[in-house]
Amino acid sequence: MPRIIDTHKPGFLPSDDPSRDRLDDPLGSKLPQDWDDRKATARAYRASQARATGTRRRSVDPCTSELDYSPAQLEFMLAMQAYKQASGRMFPTWSETLEVLTKLGYEKSLKPTVPGTK
């Protein structure tokens, strides 16, 4: 009868899974089953799982600032927040920010308003 592994029990490590192949790592770095200190390995694995399931405060909350945001500012912040959540990028590039602004309906004016631009 095949051995059944309970992956939900406390202390289970990916290295305990006999179906895991050593060739899974294309970069050749040490895999958990190669580590010597099992206690440190278990701690590191639990920490990585906590980070994976933990949530960071990423939402825009206009109540947390002393400033009163204008409707346009709030609309932009919420649009950027929605973009970050949809794309999974915490720090969008300037090109992505311009894309969000364009989708909000902003267009370049005929006259340059920023000094040094053509």
Q: What is the pLDDT of residue 45?
A: 78
Tens digit of pLDDT at every position of the chain (118 positions): 555 555 555 555 555 555 554 445 555 555 555 556 777 777 877 777 776 665 555 566 656 665 778 889 989 999 999 999 999 989 999 999 999 999 999 988 877 777 777 6
Q: What is the pLDDT of residue 96?
A: 96
Q: What is the pLDDT of residue 42?
A: 78
Euclidean distance between CA atoms 19 and 94, whole angstroms: 44
Cβ partners under 8 Å of residue 59, min gap 6? 81
Q: What is the pLDDT of residue 94?
A: 95
Euclidean distance between CA atoms 74 and 90, whole angstroms: 18
Euclidean distance between CA atoms 79 and 73, whole angstroms: 10
Q: What is the pLDDT of residue 68?
A: 78
Model pTM score: 0.43
Q: What is the 3-state secondary structure (H, E, C) of 46-97?
A: HHHHHHHHCCCCCCCCHHHCCCCCCHHHHHHHHHHHHHHHHHCCCCCCHHHH
Q: What is the pLDDT of residue 102?
A: 95
